Structure 1
């Protein structure tokens, strides 16, 4: 691997880790996207799937898996440090501790849901991307990008919502939450296809062409 490719891989990994951390920190804020109410993290987290697809295409499955596990390790560190932030006593004159507690407090169930959904969906995304790459004989990047991501996002949404909120909210609400989040993620996954092509071009220096041959 050339030095330039190494530098670009570091950049992609940095963006991936940023998206993971930002998603974890902002997941508690709910926003309206059209008719749907979703965590604002839904705008950031899909970036991770685009990154793993770019890395899978250029660097291969082994490197993509390493990035996934690096993201998992960072998530654990964030959860542990967030706990320190919450329980460590503030200075006597500091008046903003309630805000920190509100932002960084997560129940063990939410943390578990996030971790399980992350590992399952990201691992599937890397695996499925390469299955489709083999089936399409290296052509049709848009096929492997979309099919791997759309299924992975569905796995992520179902696991997280179910583990986090089963028996907490009524079943009808649970289904609506899954549906709302997945529709938004579905749209974002479709929109990100040109950016995956662009990312592959910027990293590898080549366009994925002749895909209809």
Structure 2
């Protein structure tokens, strides 16, 4: 037990906290869902590029890679601070939000525009979505986030709550790996212009970049987790948690 700014931080079993209200959990959930939606809406459709001086080339990349990995950071925070069951509920909330976003985008784009409104083409370019890519993205998100949360919770038990950096990076390697292994083949395998070699190259490259981003954000992850644990006063362990992903029950 360690002393925090708001009193002692107690190590507790997650199953004893089923009806507990946490001060900051709702904010963490809202941040997670917002990042998931915005990274898919604002980041997924744009290809940007940066100049790499050492290689003397311009390197293109999907703009969403700058922000989507933050969802894994928040997934780590939620699991580490509030336990797997609450992280599971947040993942389901993000999954439902993505489904609604995809449905709303399809409906709004499909609505016939008024004759005096001349922006339909631009609107379709920004918000029109390829069903195969949308489906792949949602499935990959669901599986990757659950793997991330599961691995972190299990590693926390194995390490007795030590080596947070090892748990956050290890869980991200697993979660982002599953995400990439599902998304890129499901979205692009056999698509025009996408050879098997290109799919594999992009898969590995994006996975390495996302994990590297997580590593760089490790000090931020430590700071946020430390802040929340001190404010909430607990350190949750999932020793007796039901790890099925197919429920939102606490």
CA shift at 1:205, angstroms?
A: 1.9
Q: Name the CA distance, whole Å, in 2 between partners of 1:74 and 1:17.
A: 7
Deviates more, 1:141-150 or 1:196-205: 196-205
Secondary structure of residue in 1 paired with 2:203: helix
Q: Name the CA distance, whole Å, in 2 between partners of 1:36 and 1:184.
A: 13
Deviates more, 1:161-170 or 1:26-35: 26-35
Does structure 2 conserve the Cα–Cα contact (< 8 Å) formed by 1:21 and 1:75? yes
Question: Which position in structure 1 is the counterpart of 2:106?
Answer: 83
Q: Name the CA distance, whole Å, in 2 between partners of 1:94 and 1:40.
A: 29
Question: Which position in structure 1 is the counterpart of 2:24?
Answer: 8
Q: Deviations over 1:153-203 (max 9, x none)?
A: 111112111100001111121112112212211210111211111111221
Secondary structure of residue in 1 paired with 2:49: strand
Q: Name the CA distance, whole Å, in 2 between partners of 1:21 and 1:90.
A: 25
Does structure 1 conserve the Cα–Cα contact (< 8 Å) formed by 2:169 and 2:211? no
CA shift at 1:37, angstroms?
A: 2.8
Runs of 4+ in structure 1 over 3 Å off: 33-36
| 2:53 counterpart of 1:28 | no
Please report the RMSD computed on the Cα atoms of aligned residues, expressed in angstroms.
1.8
Does structure 2 conserve the Cα–Cα contact (< 8 Å) formed by 1:150 and 1:189? no
Does structure 1 conserve the Cα–Cα contact (< 8 Å) formed by 2:144 and 2:179? yes
How many residues are matched? 204
Question: Which position in structure 2 is the counterpart of 1:141?
Answer: 164
Question: Which position in structure 1 is the counterpart of 2:146?
Answer: 123
Which structure features the higher share of strand residues?
Answer: 2
Q: Bigger radius of gyration, 1 or 2? A: 2
Does structure 2 conserve the Cα–Cα contact (< 8 Å) formed by 1:149 and 1:189? yes
Which structure features the higher share of helix residues?
Answer: 1
* TM-score, normalised with respect to structure 2: 0.77
Deviates more, 1:172-181 or 1:58-67: 172-181
Does structure 2 conserve the Cα–Cα contact (< 8 Å) formed by 1:142 and 1:193? yes
Q: Deviations over 1:76-108 (max 9, x none)?
A: 000000011110122221121211111111122
Question: Which position in structure 2 is the counterpart of 1:205?
Answer: 230
Does structure 2 conserve the Cα–Cα contact (< 8 Å) formed by 1:36 and 1:180? no
CA shift at 1:36, angstroms?
A: 4.3
Q: Name the CA distance, whole Å, in 2 between partners of 1:179 and 1:58.
A: 30
| Bigger relative contact order (CA 8 A; separation at least 6) | 2
Does structure 2 conserve the Cα–Cα contact (< 8 Å) formed by 1:109 and 1:164? yes
Question: Which position in structure 2 is the counterpart of 1:45?
Answer: 68
Secondary structure of residue in 2 paired with 1:205: helix
